[in-house]
Protein backbone atom coordinates (compact mmCIF):
# COMPACT_ATOMS: atom_id res chain seq x y z
CA UNK A 1 0.00 0.00 0.00
CA UNK A 2 1.33 3.38 -0.97
CA UNK A 3 1.78 5.88 1.85
CA UNK A 4 1.15 9.55 1.38
CA UNK A 5 1.89 12.50 3.63
CA UNK A 6 -1.37 11.97 5.51
CA UNK A 7 -1.79 9.69 8.47
CA UNK A 8 -1.62 6.11 7.25
CA UNK A 9 -3.25 4.83 10.44
CA UNK A 10 -6.26 7.15 10.22
CA UNK A 11 -6.82 6.35 6.57
CA UNK A 12 -6.69 2.58 6.98
CA UNK A 13 -8.78 2.63 10.15
CA UNK A 14 -11.54 4.63 8.52
CA UNK A 15 -11.23 2.67 5.30
CA UNK A 16 -11.85 -0.62 7.09
CA UNK A 17 -14.75 0.94 8.96
CA UNK A 18 -16.32 2.65 5.96
CA UNK A 19 -16.30 -0.43 3.76
CA UNK A 20 -17.60 -2.85 6.39
CA UNK A 21 -20.81 -3.21 4.38
CA UNK A 22 -19.08 -4.34 1.17
CA UNK A 23 -18.71 -8.03 2.06
CA UNK A 24 -21.34 -10.36 3.42
CA UNK A 25 -19.29 -12.62 5.69
CA UNK A 26 -19.86 -12.70 9.44
CA UNK A 27 -16.70 -10.80 10.42
CA UNK A 28 -17.71 -7.81 8.32
CA UNK A 29 -21.21 -7.84 9.79
CA UNK A 30 -19.65 -7.66 13.26
CA UNK A 31 -17.60 -4.67 12.11
CA UNK A 32 -20.74 -3.04 10.72
CA UNK A 33 -22.50 -3.48 14.07
CA UNK A 34 -19.46 -2.01 15.85
CA UNK A 35 -19.57 1.05 13.61
CA UNK A 36 -23.24 1.70 14.26
CA UNK A 37 -22.45 1.67 17.98
CA UNK A 38 -19.75 4.35 17.77
CA UNK A 39 -22.11 6.92 19.25
CA UNK A 40 -22.85 4.55 22.17
CA UNK A 41 -19.25 4.01 23.27
CA UNK A 42 -18.84 3.76 27.05
CA UNK A 43 -16.15 6.10 28.37
CA UNK A 44 -15.23 3.76 31.24
CA UNK A 45 -14.55 0.95 28.76
CA UNK A 46 -12.53 3.37 26.61
CA UNK A 47 -10.44 4.19 29.68
CA UNK A 48 -9.77 0.47 30.18
CA UNK A 49 -8.98 0.03 26.46
CA UNK A 50 -6.22 2.66 26.27
CA UNK A 51 -2.92 1.90 27.96
CA UNK A 52 0.16 4.12 27.80
CA UNK A 53 3.46 2.57 28.83
CA UNK A 54 6.32 4.43 30.52
CA UNK A 55 8.11 4.63 27.18
CA UNK A 56 5.13 6.41 25.63
CA UNK A 57 3.78 3.48 23.61
CA UNK A 58 0.00 3.39 23.30
CA UNK A 59 -1.85 0.09 23.33
CA UNK A 60 -5.48 0.05 22.18
CA UNK A 61 -7.98 -2.72 22.82
CA UNK A 62 -11.76 -3.03 22.68
CA UNK A 63 -13.53 0.30 23.09
CA UNK A 64 -10.22 2.14 22.83
CA UNK A 65 -10.02 1.13 19.17
CA UNK A 66 -13.58 2.28 18.52
CA UNK A 67 -12.83 5.61 20.22
CA UNK A 68 -9.79 6.14 17.98
CA UNK A 69 -12.02 5.48 14.96
CA UNK A 70 -14.37 8.15 16.24
CA UNK A 71 -11.47 10.59 16.69
CA UNK A 72 -10.29 9.81 13.15
CA UNK A 73 -13.79 10.51 11.87
CA UNK A 74 -13.81 13.83 13.72
CA UNK A 75 -10.47 14.72 12.13
CA UNK A 76 -11.85 13.81 8.69
CA UNK A 77 -14.83 16.10 9.27
CA UNK A 78 -12.50 18.92 10.27
CA UNK A 79 -10.58 18.44 7.02
CA UNK A 80 -13.71 18.23 4.85
CA UNK A 81 -14.03 18.73 1.83
CA UNK A 82 -10.49 17.35 1.58
CA UNK A 83 -10.62 13.56 1.69
CA UNK A 84 -8.29 11.36 3.73
CA UNK A 85 -7.84 9.11 0.72
CA UNK A 86 -9.15 8.99 -2.81
CA UNK A 87 -10.48 5.51 -2.04
CA UNK A 88 -12.66 6.63 0.87
CA UNK A 89 -16.03 8.32 0.70
CA UNK A 90 -16.36 11.92 1.89
CA UNK A 91 -16.18 12.46 5.66
CA UNK A 92 -19.82 13.53 5.81
CA UNK A 93 -20.89 10.30 4.13
CA UNK A 94 -18.82 8.25 6.57
CA UNK A 95 -20.28 10.10 9.57
CA UNK A 96 -23.83 9.54 8.36
CA UNK A 97 -23.16 5.85 7.69
CA UNK A 98 -21.07 5.07 10.76
CA UNK A 99 -23.00 7.06 13.36
CA UNK A 100 -26.49 7.23 11.88
CA UNK A 101 -26.61 11.01 12.31
CA UNK A 102 -27.87 13.59 9.84
CA UNK A 103 -27.05 17.13 8.82
CA UNK A 104 -24.52 19.18 6.91
CA UNK A 105 -20.80 19.18 7.69
CA UNK A 106 -21.03 21.70 10.53
CA UNK A 107 -23.96 19.94 12.21
CA UNK A 108 -22.26 16.55 11.82
CA UNK A 109 -19.04 17.91 13.31
CA UNK A 110 -20.94 19.42 16.24
CA UNK A 111 -22.69 16.10 16.92
CA UNK A 112 -19.40 14.17 16.75
CA UNK A 113 -17.80 16.74 19.10
CA UNK A 114 -20.66 16.17 21.57
CA UNK A 115 -20.13 12.40 21.43
CA UNK A 116 -16.37 12.80 21.97
CA UNK A 117 -16.92 15.23 24.88
CA UNK A 118 -19.36 12.80 26.52
CA UNK A 119 -16.89 9.93 26.19
CA UNK A 120 -14.03 12.07 27.55
CA UNK A 121 -16.14 13.01 30.58
CA UNK A 122 -16.96 9.35 31.20
CA UNK A 123 -13.25 8.48 30.86
CA UNK A 124 -12.37 11.13 33.43
CA UNK A 125 -14.97 9.82 35.85
CA UNK A 126 -13.65 6.27 35.36
CA UNK A 127 -10.12 7.48 36.06
CA UNK A 128 -11.43 9.57 38.98
CA UNK A 129 -9.02 12.35 38.18
CA UNK A 130 -10.89 15.10 36.36
CA UNK A 131 -14.28 16.72 36.13
CA UNK A 132 -14.12 17.91 32.51
CA UNK A 133 -12.07 18.86 29.49
CA UNK A 134 -10.28 22.01 28.45
CA UNK A 135 -8.78 22.93 25.08
CA UNK A 136 -5.16 23.96 25.62
CA UNK A 137 -5.55 27.37 23.98
CA UNK A 138 -8.30 28.22 26.50
CA UNK A 139 -5.92 28.00 29.48
CA UNK A 140 -5.88 31.07 31.69
CA UNK A 141 -2.80 32.46 33.39
CA UNK A 142 -4.40 31.64 36.75
CA UNK A 143 -4.77 27.92 35.87
CA UNK A 144 -2.29 25.49 37.36
CA UNK A 145 -1.00 22.83 34.96
CA UNK A 146 0.07 19.38 36.15
CA UNK A 147 1.73 16.72 34.03
CA UNK A 148 0.91 13.08 34.76
CA UNK A 149 2.17 9.92 33.03
CA UNK A 150 -0.67 9.98 30.52
CA UNK A 151 -2.03 13.52 30.21
CA UNK A 152 -1.94 17.13 31.36
CA UNK A 153 -4.37 18.46 33.96
CA UNK A 154 -5.46 22.04 34.52
CA UNK A 155 -6.73 23.05 37.92
CA UNK A 156 -9.21 25.91 37.69
CA UNK A 157 -11.35 27.00 40.64
CA UNK A 158 -10.69 23.67 42.37
CA UNK A 159 -11.83 21.63 39.36
CA UNK A 160 -9.45 19.23 37.66
CA UNK A 161 -9.75 19.40 33.86
CA UNK A 162 -8.06 17.17 31.28
CA UNK A 163 -6.27 19.33 28.70
CA UNK A 164 -6.93 18.43 25.06
CA UNK A 165 -5.40 19.48 21.74
CA UNK A 166 -5.93 18.62 18.09
CA UNK A 167 -3.62 16.52 15.95
CA UNK A 168 -2.61 19.59 13.99
CA UNK A 169 -1.18 21.48 16.96
CA UNK A 170 -0.10 18.62 19.22
CA UNK A 171 3.62 19.42 19.23
CA UNK A 172 3.04 23.09 19.95
CA UNK A 173 0.52 22.23 22.68
CA UNK A 174 2.76 19.69 24.39
CA UNK A 175 5.78 22.01 24.41
CA UNK A 176 3.64 24.84 25.82
CA UNK A 177 2.13 22.59 28.50
CA UNK A 178 5.51 21.17 29.52
CA UNK A 179 6.69 24.72 30.07
CA UNK A 180 3.63 25.51 32.20
CA UNK A 181 3.62 22.25 34.21
CA UNK A 182 4.83 22.30 37.82
pTM comes to 0.56
Give the SS3 label for residue 72: helix
- Is there a single domain that holds both residue 109 and residue 143? no
How many helices and strands, by DSSP H and E, does the chain display? Answer: 7, 6
Domain hosting 11: range is 7-128
Cβ atoms of 169 and 140 closer than 8 Å: no
**Residue 163 is inside which H or E element, if any?**
strand 159-164
pLDDT in tens, 102-129: 999 999 999 999 999 888 888 877 776 6
- Is there a single domain that holds both residue 76 and residue 102? yes
- Is there a single domain that holds both residue 31 and residue 88? yes
Q: Of the ranges 16-30, 57-71, 138-152, which one carries the lowest mean pLDDT score?
A: 16-30
For residues 18-30, average pLDDT: 45
1 occurs within a structural domain: no
For residues 151-158, average pLDDT: 84
- Is there a single domain that holds both residue 112 and residue 139? no
Helices 105-127, 63-79: crossing angle, 10 deg rounding = 150
Q: Of the ranges 33-37, 39-43, 116-120, 127-131, which one carries the lowest mean pLDDT score?
A: 33-37
Cβ atoms of 37 and 98 closer than 8 Å: no
- Is there a single domain that holds both residue 60 and residue 11? yes
Amino acid sequence: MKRSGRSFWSTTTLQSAAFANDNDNDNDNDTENDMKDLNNIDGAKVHEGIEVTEGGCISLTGEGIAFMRLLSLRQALQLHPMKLSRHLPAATTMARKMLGIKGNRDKLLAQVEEIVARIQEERAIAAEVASGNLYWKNLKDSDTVEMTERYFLAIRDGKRLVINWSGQDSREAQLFLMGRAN
